[in-house]
Amino acid sequence: MATPSIDKHALDSFHAHLSQSKRVLALLGAGLSASSGLPTFRGAGGLWRSHDSISLATPEAFAADPSLVWHFYNYRRHMALQAQPNPAHYALAELARKLPGFQCLSQNVDGLSQRAEHPPDQLQLLHGTLFELKCASRRCDYHETNFTDPVVPALAIPTGGVDPTSNEARREAAAAQDKGQDLDISDVKVPIPSISTKDLPQCPKCNAHLLRPGVVWFGESLPASVLKNVDDFIDADAGIDLIIVIGTSAKVYPAAGYIDEAREKGARVCVVNMDTNDAPASGWAEGDWLFQGDAATVVPELLKPVIGEIKAKV
Ligand code: BJW
Ligand code: ZN
C-alpha cells in the first residue's frame, strides 16, 4: 500500500491549527485498522465468503440465520485478536493523554484502540464492540465481556486443517484477491457448517435466548450513554476547533452527521483517507484539509507537534 507524500504546505497549516486547538474530535472508521490487516466494510474488503458484510450486520440477518451471522462475527473476533494496533491507534491514544479536550468517536468494533491504551473516557464506541456479548432478547439485560476464541467450540473456524493466520492461507487469500475472488483468508475452500441453535452462545440469565455480538446493527439505536457523551461534547458552549475524520466512508448515520455538527460548532475539518472520493456527505468547505494515504502513516505525522514521535511497540 504505497502512501503518497504529504503536501508540506497543507501539513504546516494543519500543524499550526492543531497546536492552538483545545477541543478536538476524531471520527474513526474501518480504514484506521486496515493496515493492521482488518478488512473494511465497503469496497474491495467488504466480502466474507461471498457474503456482503453489510448484509450480515442486521437484526434480520441474525434472526434468519444465527449460525451464519455467528460464524461471521466469530471470524471477525478471531482476526481482531490476531491483529495488532498500528501507529495511528497509538498516536490517537497519545493525543488523548496530551489533550484533555480530545474525544474519539469510533465506529470500529475491533478493540484495537483499547489495546493501544486509549483512555476509555476519551473513546466513544458508537457501534459497540465485538468483545461484548448480550442477550438477543430486548427483554433480558444480560451482557458480558468475552474474549474467548472461538466464542463456543462449535464455531471453531473450519479450515480443513489449515491455520487461517498462516502464511500459506494468507498467500492463498492474496492470490484469490488478485483474481477478484473471495477475500476471506479463512476461506480455504471448506464450507461453513450450519450449527444447531443449541450449540451457539446461550444466554445464562434467561436461559431462553441466544447471545449475540454487542455491536450496533442497522436500524438499532446507538448506546444511549455514548450518544449523551457525544451530544454533551458537541453542545458545550466552548465550541469545537477541529474534527479529524479518519478512514471512514462517512456513509453511516448518525456517525457521519457528526462532521457537520462539529462544523456548525466552528470546527475545521481534516480528512485522512486512501480514497479522495470519500468526502464528508455535505461536501468540502474552505479551510478543510484532505490528506490522502494510509492512516497508519499519515495520522502520526499529523499529530507530531503535540505527541512527538510514536515509538514502535514490540
Ligand atoms: C483507509 C484505509 C487506510 C481504507 N487508511 N483510509 C439518516 C439518514 C439516512 C439513514 C439514516 C439516518 N440515520 C439513521 C439512518 C439509518 C442507518 C444508516 O446510516 N443508513 C445509511 C447506510 C444510509 N443508521 C442506523 O441504522 C444506525 N442506527 C440509528 O441511527 O438508529 C436510529 C434510527 C434507526 C433507523 C432509522 C432512523 C434512525 C445504526 C448504524 C449501525 C452501523 N453498524 C455497522 C456494523 C457494526 C457491526 C459490525 O462491525 O459488523 O457499523 S455497518 C458498518 O458501517 C459498521 C461501520 O462502523 C460503519 C461505517 O463503516 P466505515 O468504518 O466507514 O467503513 P467503510 O468500509 O465504509 O469505509 C472505510 C474507509 O476507509 C473508506 O473510505 C476507505 O477509502 C478508507 N480506507 N484503507 C485510510 N489504510
Ligand atoms: Zn437473556
- Residue 189 near ligand 1, beta carbon < 6 Å: no
pLDDT of 87 over the 90 cut: yes
Nearest CA to ligand 1 atom 49: 109
Name the burial class of residue 232, with classes exposed (0-12), middle (13-18) and buried (19+) by CB atoms within 10 angstroms of its CB: exposed
Handedness of CA 126, 117, 13, 18 (dihedral sign): positive
The pLDDT value recorded for residue 51 is 87
Closest-lying ligand to the alpha carbon of 211?
2
CA of 118 to the centre of ligand 2 (A): 31
Q: Residue 104 annotated as binding? A: no
CA of 253 to the centre of ligand 1 (A): 6
Q: Judge whether 217 and 92 are in contact, CB under 8 Å.
A: no
Q: What mean pLDDT is predicted for residues 223-229?
A: 98
- Residue 124 near ligand 1, beta carbon < 6 Å: no
Pocket test for ligand 1, best of 218, 258, 282 (most atoms within 8 A of CB): 218
Q: Residue 270 annotated as binding? A: no
The pLDDT value recorded for residue 183 is 41
- Residue 213 near ligand 1, beta carbon < 6 Å: no
- Chain centroid offset of residue 231 CA: 20
Instruction: Please state which CATH class domain 39-82+128-215 belongs to.
Output: alpha beta
| Position 63 confidence tier, pLDDT thresholds 50, 70, 90 | very high
Closest-lying ligand to the alpha carbon of 135?
2
**Pairing between strand 268-273 and 289-292?**
parallel
Which of helix, strand or coil describes residue 218? coil
| Position 118 confidence tier, pLDDT thresholds 50, 70, 90 | very high
Q: What mean pLDDT is predicted for residues 56-81?
A: 96
| Position 279 confidence tier, pLDDT thresholds 50, 70, 90 | confident
Q: Judge whether 118 and 96 are in contact, CB under 8 Å.
A: yes
| Position 180 confidence tier, pLDDT thresholds 50, 70, 90 | very low
Closest CA to 132 of 186, 86, 52, 73: 73
CA of 141 to the centre of ligand 2 (A): 7
**Pairing between strand 123-125 and 102-106?**
parallel
The pLDDT value recorded for residue 167 is 65
Q: What mean pLDDT is predicted for residues 30-50?
A: 89
What pTM was estimated for this model as a whole? 0.93
Percent pLDDT > 90 in the chain is 79
Q: Judge whether 36 and 83 are in contact, CB under 8 Å.
A: yes
Tell me the β-bridge partners of 268. 242
Percent pLDDT > 70 in the chain is 88
Q: What mean pLDDT is predicted for residues 128-132?
A: 98
CATH 3.30.1600.10 residue window(s) in the chain: 39-82+128-215
| Position 44 confidence tier, pLDDT thresholds 50, 70, 90 | confident
Is the bond preceding 254 in cis, omega lying within 30 degrees of 0? yes
The pLDDT value recorded for residue 46 is 78
Q: Judge whether 306 and 281 are in contact, CB under 8 Å.
A: no
Cell of 189: 475452500
For 55, 93, 118, 254, 292, the CA distances from 123, given in Å and listed in that order, are 27, 9, 7, 16, 24
Tell me the β-bridge partners of 107. none
* CATH match of 1-38+85-127+222-314 with 3.30.70.860: no
CATH 3.40.50.1220 residue window(s) in the chain: 1-38+85-127+222-314
pLDDT of 190 over the 90 cut: no
The pLDDT value recorded for residue 185 is 47
The pLDDT value recorded for residue 192 is 83
Q: Residue 140 annotated as binding? A: yes
| Position 189 confidence tier, pLDDT thresholds 50, 70, 90 | low
The pLDDT value recorded for residue 169 is 63
- Residue 127 near ligand 1, beta carbon < 6 Å: yes
**Dist CA 38 CA 215 (whole Å):** 17
For 76, 104, 153, 167, 206, the CA distances from 130, given in Å and listed in that order, are 8, 18, 17, 25, 22
- Residue 303 near ligand 1, beta carbon < 6 Å: no
